[in-house]
Every structure is written in C-alpha cells, then in structure tokens.
C-alpha cells in the first residue's frame, strides 16, 4: 500500500492520479476535508481508504502499522504563505512532518516529502545548501527548519528520505486553493471574465511583467516523485523546477495564444500593468530558477515542459467538456 498525505490537495491528488495511471489503487489518502471542495480532486481517483490527518497522526504516534507500506508521499501542509500564526504553522508543517519521518524511519518506509523553494527567500542562488537559504515568512521557515532537522539525521537513516523543493507549480486540481492558486489558474479566470490580464509593473530592476520565475507543470512534479519511488537508493534534498526561469509575460502570452486558437480570433486578449504593491516590496520573489545539478546528478534525466507547452496542457484540462 502507498500512503499519500495531503492526498486530496493539489500535488497530492495528482500523485494519486499518477499512481492510478500505473495501475496502483492500494492507496491510503490522509487529509483534512474541513474544506469539502477538496474531495472533488479525488472524484476520478481510485483509492483503498481515507483517514483524517489528526486521526492518522494519533495512530502513527501510537506506533501502529498499516500493513506493508511501499512508500509515503508526504504532501500535507499549510501552504498559505500569508499565514503568520507561527504556532499553527510549526505544528502542521514542522512537528507533523517530524512525526511522519520518525514513523517511516522506524518502519524503513521510503519517505518522499514536499519542501519548498520558498526556503531560498529572495535568492538569487537557488541551490540546496544552507548558505543560500533565507526564508521570508512563517510557511517558508517551517519548511526550512524541517530540512535542517533532516540534515542532522540523514547520516543515521538507512531507508530512503527525499525532500522536494517545489518551485512555482501549476496545473490540474488546484482550484480549491483560492488566492494561493497558481498564476496560471488566475490568468485563466481573468481571460474568461474580461479577456485581459493584469500584471505588475516593473520591480527589482525588471520591466513590466518581466519578473521571472521557474514555473513547473504538476505532471512534471509527479514524474519526479514517481521516479524516486522507482529509485529507493536515492536520498537527499532536491530542487524540483524546470531549471529555466520564464517571465510572467511569457505565461500571459501562452494563455492569450491558447484562447486565440480556441476562438479563432487573433485580436483577443491583452495585458494591463498595475502598480507594484507597497506591502510586497522586499518580500516578493522577482526571480527564481531551480539549480537542477543535484537532481540530475542523482539520475533524473527526463525533460520538463516549458511554459507554452504546460499552459496549453493545463488550459485544455480546465476547459474539458
């Protein structure tokens, strides 16, 4: 059996779909369905069982077993970057993840967990080393601190443990995230509603809409997770991005081009540039780009989608009949 925590969330539900595509349905999904909309992410999935995250934690802390577990994909977390309740963030992201790690190590179960590129703060170097890490909010700090905790334990762990620092992920099954959904998701909504997109004016030396981030389609994120499942000898902390920063203008143009093709109207769509918000100055990642050296050295050699390809695939999914 596989365990996927956060399995009704964005990346977790896509991992479930990826496992299903391999013919694997013996899956225990762990999540918090206080927001019942998340269960819709599993409506097309086949799983064996579901447990609430608090019930699962209680059973883990009692040392219970769940039969033969092939791996745990730990995607469950509070991912709201604007959440400043530090006690809550540390309980949900740091302490919970420590408990999952300890249980997996005890049972020699591969543990593949979600970290975040947010640990790097403003950058500009995005490499998996302490000197480049400087979190700017409680969410980023909770992820950073667990990575530090793992580093102190790694030499004593014989089973697989892999932390994945996701960059800007977009794709299917993120609609429940609201304001925390991807730029791509919000651009689709704007194009549907008005036919025009709003991007920030220049900041940090970048021109209007030219702030650049490493945007990665969730299918590529799933591919990395499943590759680790296939390679249990690989452990460590790895960046998961495309390795190529692209501008918000690139994402916008990809969205507009998709709508133009669908409508047969080359005049559709436009971009408006709005003032950069004062409250984001000094706290906004104007540039991110994953250094993929560690992931490639570990043996992952599959290509990643660029924004044009990924946006087209995502919009095809969003506008399914």
Q: Annotated catalytic sites, by residue?
A: 139, 177
How far is Cα 91 from Cα 147, in angstroms, rounded to an integer?
A: 15
From CA 249, how far away is CA 118, in angstroms rounded? Answer: 22
C-alpha closest to that of 182 among 195, 173, 169:
169
Residue carrying the six token digits 């077993």? 65
- Measured between its terminal Cα atoms, the distance across the chain in Å is 33
- Measured between alpha carbons, how far is 274 from 289 in angstroms, rounded to an integer? 24
- Is residue 124 reached through a cis peptide bond, with omega within 30 degrees of 0 on the bond before it? yes
Please name the residues in contact with 198: beta carbons below 8 A apart, sequence gap of 6 or more: 190, 271, 272, 273, 274
Distance CA 219, CA 296 (A): 18
């Amino acid at each position: 059996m596989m365990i996927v925590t956060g399995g009704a969330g964005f990346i977790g539900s896509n991992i479930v779909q990826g496992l299903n595509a391999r013919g694997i349905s013996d899956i225990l999904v762990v999540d918090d369905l206080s927001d019942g909309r998340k269960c819709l992410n599993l409506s097309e999935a086949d799983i064996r069982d579901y447990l609430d995250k608090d019930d699962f934690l209680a059973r883990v802390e009692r040392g219970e077993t769940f039969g033969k577990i092939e791996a745990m994909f730990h995607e469950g977390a509070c991912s709201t970057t604007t959440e400043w309740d530090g006690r809550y963030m540390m309980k949900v992201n740091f302490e919970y993840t420590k408990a999952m790690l300890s249980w997996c190590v005890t049972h020699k179960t591969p543990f593949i967990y979600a970290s975040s590129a947010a640990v790097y703060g403003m950058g500009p170097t995005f490499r998996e080393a302490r000197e480049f890490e400087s979190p700017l909010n409680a969410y980023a700090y909770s992820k950073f601190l667990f990575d530090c905790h793992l580093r102190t334990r790694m030499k004593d762990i014989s089973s697989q443990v892999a932390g994945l620092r996701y960059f800007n992920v977009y794709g299917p099954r993120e609609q429940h995230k609201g304001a925390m959904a991807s730029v791509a998701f919000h651009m689709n909504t704007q194009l549907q509603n008005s036919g025009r997109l709003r991007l920030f004016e220049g900041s940090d030396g970048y021109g209007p809409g030219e702030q650049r981030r490493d945007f990665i389609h969730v299918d590529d994120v799933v591919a990395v997770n499943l590759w680790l499942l296939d390679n249990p000898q690989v452990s460590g902390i790895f960046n998961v991005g495309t390795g190529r920063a692209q501008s918000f203008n690139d994402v916008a143009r990809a969205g507009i081009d998709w709508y133009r093709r669908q409508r047969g109207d080359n005049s559709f769509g436009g971009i408006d540039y709005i003032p950069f918000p004062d409250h984001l100055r000094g706290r906004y990642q104007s540039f991110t780009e994953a250094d993929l050296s560690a992931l490639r050295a570990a043996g992952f050699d599959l290509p990643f989608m660029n924004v044009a390809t990924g946006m087209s695939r995502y919009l095809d999914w969003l506008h399914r009949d």
